[in-house]
Chains A and B, each alone.
Chain A
Amino acid sequence: MPAVERNGTKLWHRRTTGRQMAIWFGWLCGLALFLYCWQIVSEATTWFFVWDAPRIAGDIGSRMVPPRWSYVDKLWQPLWDTINIATVGTALAIVMAVPVAFLAARNTTPSATFIRPIALLIIVSSRSINSLIWALLLVSIIGPGVLAGTIAIGLRSIGFVAKLLYEAIEEIDHTQVEAITATGARPSQVMAYAIVPQIMPAFAGISVFRWDINIRESTVLGLVGAGGIGLQLQASLNVLAWPQVTVILIAILMTVLVSEWVSAKVRHAII
């Protein structure tokens, strides 16, 4: 620890003066960047609307109550669609993600120089693009509907499932693999008896976790026309039917809570 001599007494400091200055300068740069960004946002904002916001918020709030409960009858079909999009989409993602994960894991990839980067690129591309954007793309390719939503959820989830799965594969206990190999097992047998049993709990946990996230994401896919309860939300918002919006939001909230509960239960049972 550096010391500064002042009036004959030594004062201890945590950092040297130069380092202290460097840290202070770092904070200054960060603050300047933030203020610059804020200024850009501020310039693009119509502040009149912002000052008016509390009144508008109150207005929307008063229109949203009481909820139109009778609208629930029209929501069962879209809710069923939403759950299907999430579940079938997750299944689709798992089917595609498992091979990608094995190609991406350092200890199982056939070629670390050629195939692994491709698998990692697939993972990153899938993860970087939100499911809504995937849905937007698929709606313009295969038309609006539940199918587009399902495929969007599937494509989006590949990255997530594959990333967590390949990390689990890389963390397996190597001695078991060696033991099975020593018995003269073929590579497929090593896979089946040494690797798969070790990653099975992680795999099931990841799948359920992603399913839970997908339920949330599939509730909004309808905003771009990809089916599910989001379609109803979009329709109600377009005609400013705020009491219906309240019912839809409550339905979404309930679905999310139930899926979270199911996912927590299942993961608890597995681990």
Chain B
Amino acid sequence: MSATSFDARRWRPPPLIKNRHLRWAVGIGAAVYFTVAIGSLEVNWMRIYEGLDRGWAFVLAFTQPDFTSRWQDIREGLTESLVMTVTSTVIGILISIPIGLGAARNIAPLPVYLLCRGIIAVSRSFQEVIIAIFFVAIFGFGPLAGVLTLSFATIGFLSKLLAEDIEDIDRSQAEAIRATGARWLQFMNYGIQPQVMPRLIGLSLYRLDINFRESAVVGLVGAGGIGATLNTAFDRYEFDTAAAILIAIIGIVMTAEYASGLIRARVQ
């Protein structure tokens, strides 16, 4: 803060961006950009006006969701989503652990490190849906494509965070284990694993949660799960069924979040 801050009449809270010219440039730039960007939104007011009825119908549908008339489809879709979630999370964790070990600079040699980091970068760059489109093209329609998509996405998430966690471990414990003459596997088991285990469990539970949410999306492109049912409901303007599905998804996500919160609190 400059000396002016002692002048009671002229004091102002310090701004976020200290350089005054930069502050003005950012402000004006943002204003110009938003004017242009919002101007480039082609808003078809007639279409929106017509859609308002449908929008209101959707809001009303939330007050009386229809679970019954498509119950069979909803039940099958949700079961498939849950099944895909469990399978893909387990497979994803099993693959991410070795890749995570390989991507930690302090325990992996350079070529392995670069390879594993490359896999992580590819997995993180593309949205699940794009990967799902390819897996559906390659493996055919059905939940297997979804499971593989979610497993692949899990690798990018879990390996990266696991590797960062391993890079942050307390070196002295690992050194102590190594000093006893432990073999590589024993070194992993006693020097590394106890330090990262609580976080790994927490992250796995979090990923289980994410995978369920994403499993609702990969169905849109034919990779199994509740997404296909939801898409059909929207296409037919059956908003009450769509509302029922969304409420079910929100309910399951909330339950999962609450449960994983309890488990994480116990583990950490």
Binding site for B on A (CB under 8 A): 33-34, 37-38, 40-42, 44-46, 49-50, 53, 56-57, 60, 80-81, 84, 87-88, 91, 124-125, 127-130, 132-133, 136-137, 140-143, 145-147, 150, 192-193, 197, 200-201, 204, 216-217, 219-220, 223-224, 233, 237, 249, 252-253, 256-257, 270
Query: What is the size category of the interface that chain B forms with chain A?
Result: 35 or more
B151 to chain A, nearest CB (A): 11
Binding site for A on B (CB under 8 A): 13-14, 16, 33-34, 37-38, 40-44, 47-48, 51, 54-55, 58, 79-80, 82-84, 86-87, 90, 125-127, 129-130, 133-134, 137-140, 142-144, 147, 213-214, 216-217, 220-221, 224, 227, 230-231, 234-235, 237, 242, 246, 249-250, 253-254, 257
Q: Enumerate 29 A-B pairs (CB-CB under 8 Å) in ascending A order.
A: A37-B83, A38-B87, A40-B79, A41-B147, A42-B144, A45-B139, A45-B142, A45-B143, A45-B144, A53-B139, A88-B34, A88-B38, A128-B253, A129-B213, A130-B217, A141-B51, A147-B41, A147-B48, A150-B41, A216-B127, A217-B127, A220-B129, A220-B130, A223-B220, A223-B221, A233-B130, A249-B126, A252-B130, A257-B125
Inter-chain contact A133/B137, CB cutoff 8 Å: no
Q: Please give, as numbers and ranges, the residues of chain A lying within 8 Å of B221 by CB-CB distance.
A: 223
Inter-chain contact A46/B87, CB cutoff 8 Å: no
Inter-chain contact B234/A136, CB cutoff 8 Å: yes
Which residue of the partner chain, among A140, A147, A192, A201, contacts B43 with CB atoms under 8 Å?
A: A147
Inter-chain contact A87/B37, CB cutoff 8 Å: yes
Q: Please give, as numbers and ranges, the residues of chain A lying within 8 Å of B257 by CB-CB distance.
A: 124
Number of A-B residue pairs at CB separation under 8 A:
151
Which residue of the partner chain, among B13, B58, B86, B139, contacts A34 with CB atoms under 8 Å?
A: B86
Q: Please give, as numbers and ranges, the residues of chain A lying within 8 Å of B249 by CB-CB distance.
A: 128-129
Inter-chain contact B42/A147, CB cutoff 8 Å: yes
Inter-chain contact B127/A220, CB cutoff 8 Å: yes
Which residue of the partner chain, among A41, A80, A137, A257, contacts B84 with CB atoms under 8 Å?
A: A41
A45 to B216, CA, bound (A): 18
Inter-chain contact A84/B87, CB cutoff 8 Å: no
